[in-house]
Structure formats: C-alpha cells, structure tokens
Structure 1
Amino acid sequence: MTSTEQLRAGKGTRTTTATPPAAAGSRGRWLALSVLVLAVLLVAVDATVLGLATPFLSEDLQPSGAQLLWIGDVYSFVIAGLLVSMGSLGDRIGRKRLLLTGAVAFGAVSVLNAYATSPEMMIVARALLGVAGATLMPSTLALIRNIFQDPKERSLAIGIWGAAASAGAAVGPVVGGFLLNHFWWGSVFLINLPVMALLVLVGVKLLPESKNPVAGPWDLPSVGLSLVGVIGLVYAVKETAAYGPTAQAGVAALLGAGALWLFVRRQLTLPAPLLDMRLFRHRGFSGAVLADLLTVFGLSGLVFFLSQFLQLVQGRDPLEAGLAELPAALGAVATGLLAGRAARRFSVRSVVTGGLAAIGLALGALALIDQDSGYPVLGAALLVVGVGAGFSFTVTADVILSSVPKEQAGSASAVSETAYELGAALGIALLGSIVTGVYRGFPVPEGVPAPVAEAAHESLGGAVEAAGTLPGGAGEQLAAAAQGAFVDGLHMASLVGAAVLLATAVAAWFLLRGQQLADHVEH
C-alpha cells in the first residue's frame, strides 16, 4: 500500500490530508468502500481463474514445467517487488489517481494475457499484469484506514474488504469454469474488462482523493533495490527448490540479499523513505505481518495445484471444479465479517491462533485425499480452510492498520500487501516445486517412446495429453502413473503447508500477546 502522511522524523512536522467531502458522511464512506471492494475483486478474480485455465493453457502453449511455474508466480513476484514503491508513488500523485490508473492498465494488460501465443509471451504478459496490479492494490487498505475513523466501523470495513477478496476467489472459478466450458482459455482474462470499466466509472465520482502533500521526492534507487532484492531472493529459492543448489541460484540469492540490505540502509537515512522501517519495532505489527506471510505461503502453492487435481486427476469439468472450491471462499466471507467482533470479545491472539491452527489441520487432512476420494471430505477441508483464513486474515489486517498512527497507514498497508504477495510467490515456488519434484519421479510404463515420456514428465497436463496419443492400455497406464505421482506430490505439499501453518499459530500466540483492537475513535 502507500506510505502516507507521515510524522517526519527529527523535524516535528506532521503531514495530514483533510477528509474529502465524499467520505465525510456515513453514506459517502460506505459508497467509497464499494469502489475499493471492486478493486479487490478485480485482483482476486484474476488470481483464481488462472488455476482453472492452467490445463487448457498447457495444452495450447505447451510450456515446460519450469515455464508453467513462472506463469503461475511471476505475477506475485513483480507485485511483491513493486508494492512499496507504488504505494510511495500514490503518496505523491494521489491514491485515487493511482488506483484508477492501475485499473485501466490492469484491464489493458489482461487483453495481452488473453491473446498470448507462446509460454514466453505469457510470462511477460503476467509480469506486466503484476506491474499493473502493484499500482492498483496499494490504495485500498490505506484509504480504508483514513476514511473510517471509528475503530469498530473500520473493523467492519476491513471485514467487507477481506470478504470481497474471498468472494472474488469464489466468483473467479465459477465464472471462469463457465467460460472455459464455452470459450477458449484466454476468455478468463477478459472478465477483468467489465469490472475495470465499472471501477473507473464509479470511482471517478465516489472515491475521495488522499495524498501526502509533503511526501518528498520518489526515490528511484530505492525502487530498483526493492525490486531486484525481492525478485532475486524469490528466484533463488524457486530454483533451489526445483533443481537443487546451483551457481545461478547462488548468484541470485547474493544479489537479492545485497539489494535488500542496501534498501534497508537507504530507508534509514532518507528523510522521506519509501518504507518506514521503524514500523517493525511494534511487536503486534511484526507478528501480524509474519502471520500473513506464512499463512499465504502455506495456502498458495497448494491452491495453485488444486484445480489441476480436480480436473486432471478426478476428471471434473472446469465449471464443476470451480464450484468444488466454493466452500473455502464462502467460509472466509462469513467469518471475515464476524472477525472484528470475535477479536474484541475473546482476544486478538486467540482468534488469529485459532484460525491459523484450523487452516493447518485442514491442510493436513488434504494429505489423505486421493483420486477416488468423495467430495464431502475435500469440501469439508476447504470449508475449514476458509473459516480459518477469514478469521486470521481479517484480524491481522486490522492489527497492522491499528498498531500505527493513521499518518503511517500507507506504510503499514504496503508492508501488509507485500507480505501477502511475497508469501504467495514463495508458496507457489517452494510448495509448487515439491509437487513438481515428486511428480517428475514417476516411472514411465514400458514401451512409451522417449519424446512422449519427456512430455509426460514436464507437467500433468502434458502427461494426460501424451497419454491420448498412445494406443489402448499404454495410454491408460501412463495417465494413471502420472496422476498417482501428482497426488503423491500434493500430499507432500499439504503436509509441509500444514506444518508451516501450525508453527505459525504457535508463533502468533506469543507475538500477539496483549494485542487489542481499538474501541474508540482516535483524536
């Protein structure tokens, strides 16, 4: 998000932005929130439809296993590297302007994704979509923090904001499944266009402008360092997980770590930094950020491959697969709206810890499913995942915003969103690499030609397609071996994700000790 009106260190100058007329009344506040909800829907829908489209995309573009992972995670890589920088840019040009500009760019680049003709073009298009997403996302939480002054109203607004992301996760697969049943895979990206158009048309009228009038210059060296640092480190992790330690991964790790070290040093010396590093001195803030990062890490890699399991292993059509994933989103919507009230009645750490533990146990249960498992087991596990995520994500977002002065809401929001996207990128890279690594080890039945075997080992989609080219029993044996190996990889990733979530629950119990949500309007 944005690094908004800050208390400038050592100068005693407090920069503020007056509440715009559009947000002054109760009706104006909630109408403005509806626009921010559209922005969240836009990003959530795009993230979820890709998983459903992956088998069709694989068949058409024929990416390698590594290219398929890049298609899945380069979007999050770029967003994670640019969020803080784009949030700082929003401080300078205005959050409303940045949000609407990002919406237009997001829609335009979605067209490029829809009509990609090669794996390389698709990876570039997804990276550009990440740039657009980084300009679109930063304003939402920071604007909520500044528009809603009453803490209880703000908790509800954050709950609605989080529920919108979950609703997008629900709408995306269902709408995407319908489109994939009737049109080509590129159509799933074109659903961004009507949402973008509505966002821009309504946002121009209803959304209040908010910016820091004395934010200082936009520091381009810091922008470059953050981008190189995040992408370098995540790339190194991804390559090491997929291929073991290599010189290339080592160079990327050193480059990324060095760039982030220089970034932190530079932020500590700038009078108007892109990211105020002092935010991390607050234990509740740091604990909530860590919980967000590791929760998304545990979920994202598994979710990325779940659609492939439903379609390519269990044989569901895209619409059926989308409907099968609904319980997670429905659970998150329901609990997200209740999370603030629950955290005030019980405690922040009990609600967050309980939510994280529920997700961990549900991921562990997913390690028990196989090709012939009935839907009730999978549906129940996904429902518990959604319930846990709704509680934990909503409360941690509230903690992150309420643990800093509103003048620093932008910086806090930037860290929150960066943790989310970085967790998603690392989750797909590491857990996805576990699935891929286990999958590639399956033995090919005798008599399968070498080129067919090579294609089958690249991805499950490639194996199913290759099996269709073989006569009779050979094709069935190849498909069965590939599907069995994919399920084994999914089991391993589920167990690793479960372990990460349960460990995060324990850490949150200690880090969020004594943390409370505010009850009164700040003055």
Structure 2
Amino acid sequence: MTKTTDETANQNPRRWAALVVCCLAGMLLGIDNSVLNYAIPSLVKDLQPSSTEILWISDVYGFVMGALLVVMGNLGDRFGGKRMAMIGAAAFGTASLLTSYAGSPETLIAGRALLGLAGAMIMPSTMSIVRHAFTDPRERTTAMGLSGGLGAASFALGPVVGGLLLDHFWWGSVFLINVPVMVVVLVAGAVVLPEWRNPKPGRLDWASVPLSVVGLLGVIYAIKTGARDGFDEGQVWAAAAVGVAALLLFGRRQTRLAQPLLDLRLFRNPAFSGAVGSNLVMIFASSTLSLAFSLYFQVVRGWSPLTAGLALLPGPLAAAFAAPLASVLIPRIGRARVVALGLALLSVSTAVLGQVSTPDAGYWTEILAPLIVNGMGIILIMAVTSDTILASAPKERTGAAAAISETAMELGGALGIAVLGSVLTAVYRGALHLPAGTSAGAARAARESVSGAAAGGPGAAEAAYGAFCHAIQVTTLVGAGLIAAGAVAALFTLRSVPAVIEMPETEPDPEPVAA
C-alpha cells in the first residue's frame, strides 16, 4: 500500500467541518479588512477624529497584522495551530466588541490594533489546520481552493455587509457582527478542529522577534503611507530605512540559527519559491483593480456602495464555485500549467475589464463576463499555489510557511497599490482637461481625485470621468502585461513540481495531541 493510500484511509473524519470553520474565520478577516471604509463617514460624525487619527483607524489593522504574521505562524507551529486559532478567535471577538462601542478615536485605534493582532494569530493557523486535516492530495487542493476562493469573496462581501448594516444601524454594527460569528467559530472549532504542533520546536530565538516585527512594520508602513501621501515625506523614507535595516539583520540572523524564526531554507525548494512568486505577481498586478473599479462604479456610474459591492461580487463568487476545477486539472496538465492558465485568464480578463470600463458600459453585456473569468483565474492560481506552499513545507513548519505566503501577499498588495496606483493617478491627471471657466478650487479638487470633480459642475465631472476611465484602461493594460509575464515565469519556476507532492518530513511525523 502506498503512502498516499495509507493517508487517505486515515483521513480526519471531521475534515470538511474543520474546513467550514477555518473558512468562516478567514472570511471574517477579509470582510473586516474592507468594511471599515464604508463606516468612516458615520464614525467621523460621531467620534470627530483628527485627520491623522482617521488614517490610523484605517491603517493600523493592516500594519499590525502584516508585521506579526511571521511571529504568530512560528508560535502556532510551536504551541499548536488549533490553540493559536482559538486564542485568536477569542481575541478577535473581544476586540470587535471593544471597537464597536469605542467612545473615542484612541479607543477605536487600540481596538483595530487588537483586531490586527488577532488576525495574525488566526490566518496562518487556519491554513496550517487545513493542511493537516486533508492528507489526500486531491482533496487537499480542493480544500485549499475553497478556502482561497471564499477568502477572496470576503473582500467583496465587505461593501455588501457594510452597506446593509449601515443602512439600518450605527457604525459600530460593522464590528459587532463579528462577535456572534466568532462565538460559532470557538464552539464549533473546539469540537472539529484537529490539533498539531512541532514535537521538537527547539528554543525560540527572542532576539529575532523584534527584528521581524520592526522590519515588516517599517516596510509596510513606508509602502502604504507613501502610496497614499507621496514618497517625498521624510518619515516615509525613515520608516523604510529602519524596516530594511531590521529585515537585513533579521535575515542574516536566521541563516546562523539551528532553529530560526523564519526558515529561509524553504525558498531553496522550487515548489515553494515558485508558488510564492506566482502569488506575489498575482496580487501585485491585480491589487489596484478592486480599488479602481470601486471608484468607477460609485463615482463614474453613481452607484451606491451596496450596489457597487454587489456588482463586484460575481468575480469572487465565481472563484469559490470554480475551486474544485484546480484539483481536476492538476493530474491532467500539471501544476505549472494550471497556475500559468490561471494567470493567463487573469491577464486577459484584466485587460478586457479595463477596455470596457467607459461611462456608459453595459454591466450585464460587457462587464459581467470578464469579471467572472477574472475570479476563475484567481482561484486557479490560489488553489494550486496555496496547496503547493503548504504541501512542500515540512509538517512541523506549516504555520511558518503559511505566514510567509500571507506576508508576501500583504507586501505584494501594498506594492501593487503604490506602483500601479501611482500609474493610475499619473495617467488620470495627464488626461484631465477641464472646461474653460472651471474655478481654481474645483480644478484642484478634480486633479486630486475623480471623487472631487463633481464640485466643478457637470462639464468638469464629465471630463474627469472620461480621464479616469482612460486611466483605468492604461493601468489595467500594464497590470495585464505583468500578469502575462508571471504566467510565462510560472511555466519555468514550477515546471519540476510534480502533480502529487509527497509532503516532506525533516523530522518524524508529529503525533496528534489532545485537542
């Protein structure tokens, strides 16, 4: 009997229930990441934060989660993924309660920071749990695809959930809704989630922890702040310098430790490095798409946030439904070709979406089909790369591997918005030709963003909308070209990865511990 057959016979009978719990927790993180933007106008009226406080309310969640993923993934391997996920879920529910009833901007910022901490605990742990619950390669790929597809859908669900709640309740309701969901995760997770941990974790190198946190926080802060406020600010370059220096010291230290916090040897595996690279290209080039189309639907088309969220939803929903397709294609054409196919679909659909984005484009006749293809392309990539990353890492390092993957996605998304967002803005301003007689104040508002163009009257708004659509067309072509290059690269970087990956064991298999 082969190893695969043995593993299939001994599969966890509660694995699909465990997947549901992990997906529920992961979806809540995605919704929480996008829902705040729609609550800001209401909470500004209530709490009256300063402009700096508004920025911290918006950004601190991503800053904290991105900076702590590596540390929390490592701790999950040491102390148990289930234990870490349960602690994270309890912390997330508690922080959501604190945030929903925050009476001051400072309390709200603290609550959002705690949400980021809890999210960093949950995200790599749930991915590791799915990896251990599914030992059959085909089932594991399907499970990872479903998890990734629903995670992608959750970002589009943020505007829908936010719009529905804010139409009837106060701004804190977008956070309070997290509490009953996390109660379900805690109760169900205690019963169905399997527990695994590294039986020989070695001593934790505490000196690596602050180097990792400071390095990632500095880099993420510099990229996100620079993308929003410009890179001519001294604090942006200071944060970048501190972050890069800390990461260089961190990386050097990891190569000298017998039990590193981040095992850089994982990148020697072409399956691991090729999959992480493909994810990075995907998120970098497509990150601006959701932001641009949110503005397109709400400003250019004049749709409400709820309607705009519903308009974007078919793409992520298609991703969720197409997830099993990856496990069918892998045995037939191989992992490299499936990832390349996903990137090719993403590239073509991104280009088409950009070209049909005009002020009077038909949603059902021109936009819907490429939006669905876009979602299918994303899931073909994520299902294979997520499965490849976790299956190619040693069992005792799956939390750390998941953290590397998520950190790369966080950095890739921030870089994508910084770079392609700058392209979008530059093309928009270059193409903007306001009608004669537009006041200086209205012209400044229109050049600052397409949202401010309405102040200049119908003529200025029409000119701004046309310029913005042109900017979308150019930016999506740039993004599509980068994704197409990534598709070619995937054929080479993943060409030696087998359809069925024998999960490596640098140490004896961890024995299951009491749940």
TM-score by length of 1: 0.83
Aligned to 2:162: 176
1:363–1:385 Cα contact (<8 Å) kept: yes
Measure the CA separation in 1 of the matches of 2:479 and 2:99: 30
Deviates more, 1:61-70 or 1:279-288: 61-70
Measure the CA separation in 2 of the matches of 1:379 and 1:55: 30
Measure the CA separation in 2 of the matches of 1:450 and 1:63: 29
Counterpart code for 1:392: I
Measure the CA separation in 2 of the matches of 1:363 and 1:63: 37
1:54–1:308 Cα contact (<8 Å) kept: no
Counterpart code for 1:34: V
Q: How far apart are 1:263 and its partner, in Å? A: 0.8
1:65–1:458 Cα contact (<8 Å) kept: no
Of 399, 411, 420, 2:400 maps to: 411
Aligned to 1:515: 497
Counterpart code for 1:132: A
* 1:254 equivalenced with 2:241 (yes/no): yes
Of 358, 374, 377, 1:370 maps to: 358
Measure the CA separation in 1 of the matches of 2:46 and 2:291: 19
| 1:30-58 CA-partner distances (Å, limit 9, x unpaired) | 22222212111211222343465577778
* 1:294 equivalenced with 2:276 (yes/no): no
Q: How far apart are 1:61 and its partner, in Å? A: 8.7
Q: How far apart are 1:508 and its partner, in Å? A: 0.8
Aligned to 1:430: 419
* 1:326 equivalenced with 2:309 (yes/no): no
Measure the CA separation in 2 of the matches of 1:66 and 1:494: 31
Aligned to 2:80: 94
Of 495, 498, 507, 2:477 maps to: 495
Measure the CA separation in 2 of the matches of 1:363 and 1:341: 25
Aligned to 1:351: 338
| 1:404-438 CA-partner distances (Å, limit 9, x unpaired) | 33233222222112122222222233333443455
Question: For the structure 1 residues 185 and 456, does the alpha-carbon distance in structure 2 shift closer, same or farther, using more than 3 Å as the test?
Answer: farther
1:73–1:429 Cα contact (<8 Å) kept: no
Question: For the structure 1 residues 511 and 119, does the alpha-carbon distance in structure 2 shift closer, same or farther, using more than 3 Å as the test?
Answer: farther
Of 449, 459, 462, 1:480 maps to: 462
SS at match of 1:219: coil
Q: How far apart are 1:236 and its partner, in Å? A: 3.8
SS at match of 1:209: coil
Aligned to 2:4: none
Measure the CA separation in 2 of the matches of 1:55 and 1:486: 24
2:424–2:471 Cα contact (<8 Å) kept: yes
Pairing of 1:95-114 with structure 2 (within 5 A):
95-111=81-97, 114=100
Of 318, 335, 357, 2:322 maps to: 335
SS at match of 2:201: coil
Counterpart code for 1:297: F
SS at match of 1:269: coil
Of 370, 388, 391, 1:402 maps to: 391
Deviates more, 1:265-274 or 1:25-34: 25-34
Question: For the structure 1 residues 325 and 446, does the alpha-carbon distance in structure 2 shift closer, same or farther, using more than 3 Å as the test?
Answer: same
Identical columns (%): 48
Deviates more, 1:479-488 or 1:64-73: 64-73
Aligned to 2:144: 158
Question: For the structure 1 residues 398 and 91, does the alpha-carbon distance in structure 2 shift closer, same or farther, using more than 3 Å as the test?
Answer: closer
* 1:393 equivalenced with 2:382 (yes/no): yes
RMSD of the alignment, in Å?
3.5
Measure the CA separation in 1 of the matches of 2:496 and 2:282: 21
Question: For the structure 1 residues 487 and 69, does the alpha-carbon distance in structure 2 shift closer, same or farther, using more than 3 Å as the test?
Answer: farther
Q: How far apart are 1:134 and its partner, in Å? A: 0.7
Question: For the structure 1 residues 54 and 361, does the alpha-carbon distance in structure 2 shift closer, same or farther, using more than 3 Å as the test?
Answer: farther
Question: For the structure 1 residues 193 and 57, does the alpha-carbon distance in structure 2 shift closer, same or farther, using more than 3 Å as the test?
Answer: same
2:81–2:399 Cα contact (<8 Å) kept: no
SS at match of 1:138: helix
Question: For the structure 1 residues 250 and 318, does the alpha-carbon distance in structure 2 shift closer, same or farther, using more than 3 Å as the test?
Answer: closer
Measure the CA separation in 2 of the matches of 1:313 and 1:326: 18
Measure the CA separation in 1 of the matches of 2:446 and 2:271: 48
Of 194, 214, 217, 1:231 maps to: 217
Question: For the structure 1 residues 458 and 496, does the alpha-carbon distance in structure 2 shift closer, same or farther, using more than 3 Å as the test?
Answer: same
Aligned to 1:383: 372
Counterpart code for 1:301: T
- Stretches of structure 1 that go unaligned for 5 or more consecutive residues are 1-18, 468-473
1:59–1:461 Cα contact (<8 Å) kept: no
Aligned to 1:188: 174
Measure the CA separation in 2 of the matches of 1:169 and 1:177: 13
Counterpart code for 1:371: P
Measure the CA separation in 2 of the matches of 1:458 and 1:113: 31
Aligned to 2:3: none
1:52–1:308 Cα contact (<8 Å) kept: no
Aligned to 1:420: 409
Measure the CA separation in 1 of the matches of 2:502 and 2:67: 35
Counterpart code for 2:475: A
Aligned to 2:128: 142
| 1:325-350 CA-partner distances (Å, limit 9, x unpaired) | 12211221122122122111111111
Measure the CA separation in 2 of the matches of 1:281 and 1:386: 31
Deviates more, 1:141-150 or 1:446-455: 446-455
2:394–2:503 Cα contact (<8 Å) kept: no
Question: For the structure 1 residues 50 and 510, does the alpha-carbon distance in structure 2 shift closer, same or farther, using more than 3 Å as the test?
Answer: farther
Q: How far apart are 1:357 and its partner, in Å? A: 1.3
- Stretches of structure 2 that go unaligned for 5 or more consecutive residues are 1-6, 510-515
Question: For the structure 1 residues 26 and 407, does the alpha-carbon distance in structure 2 shift closer, same or farther, using more than 3 Å as the test?
Answer: closer
Counterpart code for 1:375: Y
Counterpart code for 2:283: V
Q: How far apart are 1:194 and its partner, in Å? A: 2.4
Q: How far apart are 1:26 and its partner, in Å? A: 4.2
TM-score by length of 2: 0.84
Measure the CA separation in 2 of the matches of 1:297 and 1:417: 13
